[in-house]
Amino acid sequence: MRVFCVSILLSLAIGFGNASAQKVSNDKEEVIRVETELIDVPLTVTDRNGKPLTNLSKSNFLIFEDNKPQKVEEFFAVNAPFEIALLLDTSGSTRADLDLIRRAARDFIASLRPGDRVSITAFRTGVRDNKTISIPDYIIELTSDRLDLRSAIDRVSTGNGTPYYDAMLGITEKVFGNEPKEEFRGRRALVALTDGVDSTSLNDFIDARDVLKAKGVSTYFINLNTRDFFEERLLGDCQIAMRFSQGQIARYYASFGRGSKIEKVSDFCRLGEFEKLAISKQLYELAESEMNELAKVSGGRVFAAVDLNDARLAFKQVADEIGTRYSLGYYPTNESRDGKFRVIRIEIKGVPTGAKVRAREGYTGPKN
């Protein structure tokens, strides 16, 4: 009886120990799964002539983080659907061409694939701090219903300012705020028709850029050239001329004030014509550099459009490119939580000589 009891106790102890070990193991695996985030990398592969290569498989890709090889855990081919946030700048010089903007947006949506989902954001006149001002207008959430999207385009209106940065940041919260469904992982894009010159935002470019980068959203810009239109109306009698907003003047001095030969003023009418043109030139160049930066780090592109007729062709090019994007996903081997930027590099094998990859350049690691 004594031997029998001892045997039972030993068995219970061993079983308890195994259960504890199993629990620790499971807990460890659970912690790794929770704290190691899958990194999504949307990308495009083209041949030496710039034509997309659309018949590649998972075996054609190698992925590196800070020059260390990573294991490709997920792969989506070019026929997988996309979620697209369409941002239409309906302010400034574009107000008179609202019908052309609507037509270009309809053409863009018609060029997408049936499974692609689209949201639409524009600008409208609203009130903030008891002042009439242009604010983002989130017209319709992500949907693949083409009739609903056409109806939403008909509701696009105009604003008397450009809350461009606010709109981009708002899209990350209102459109892309939730985690994507499995079929859309790594397949989200922001497509913006704009001149990129913000006038009324409470946020700045860095705010929007950092959040878009963190979410892995590919950004495409159709850079509409409004500079000639703006500067033509900027000159002359300051009481009736088109003016810089207070935000634009503040942004100019914040970006270019050091070493600027233009005296710091807040009154538009105190600026001479030379100073007005100099500020305008710098603001447009700043907008262009911001668009190029965000497109480059996200793996997107900037398309120049002289006018809204050009914009329709650019929209077609964006739709074609989105339809030829792959997506890779991997769990980083670097488990440190140092908050440092990590460089992503994609290599391709088994493809024609001269093929090129365009993908997001990296991401900022987690931080405790």
Give the Cα-Cα-Cα angle 292, 297, 302 (nearest 5 degrees): 30
pLDDT at 119 over 90: yes
**pLDDT tens string 271-305:** 778 888 888 898 999 999 999 999 999 999 999 99
Residue 60: the pLDDT is 96
Mean pLDDT throughout 309-337? 92
Maximum Cα interatomic distance, the chain, rounded to a whole number of Å: 110
Q: Residue 226: helix, strand or coil by DSSP?
A: coil
pLDDT band at 334 (very low <50, low <70, confident <90, very high): very high
Single pTM value for the model: 0.84
> Please, what is the average pLDDT of the chain?
85
Mean pLDDT throughout 5-21? 48
Residue bearing the bigger pLDDT, 239 or 82:
82
What's the sign of the alpha-carbon dihedral 202, 207, 211, 212? positive
pLDDT band at 257 (very low <50, low <70, confident <90, very high): low
Domains, the chain, in order of start with CATH, read: 36-78+324-368 (2.60.40), 83-322 (3.40.50.410)
Residue spans of beta strands (DSSP E) within 246-325: 301-305
Mean pLDDT throughout 61-90? 95
**Alpha-carbon span 41 to 289, nearest angstrom:** 23
pLDDT band at 259 (very low <50, low <70, confident <90, very high): low
Pairing of strands 61-65, 218-224: unpaired
Percent of the chain with pLDDT over 70: 85
The DSSP element (H or E) to which 32 belongs, if any, is helix 2-35
Residue spans of beta strands (DSSP E) within the chain: 39-46, 61-65, 68-70, 74-76, 83-88, 117-128, 131-143, 188-194, 218-224, 301-305, 326-330, 341-348, 356-359, 362-364
pLDDT band at 264 (very low <50, low <70, confident <90, very high): low
Name which of 53-57, 119-123, 150-154, 274-278 the model is least confident about.
274-278
**Residue with structure tokens 């079929």?**
183
Residue 8: the pLDDT is 47
The residues that bridge with 123 in the sheet, in sequence order, are: 136
Task: Please give the structure tokens belonging to residue 263.
Answer: 């005296």
Residue 33: the pLDDT is 42
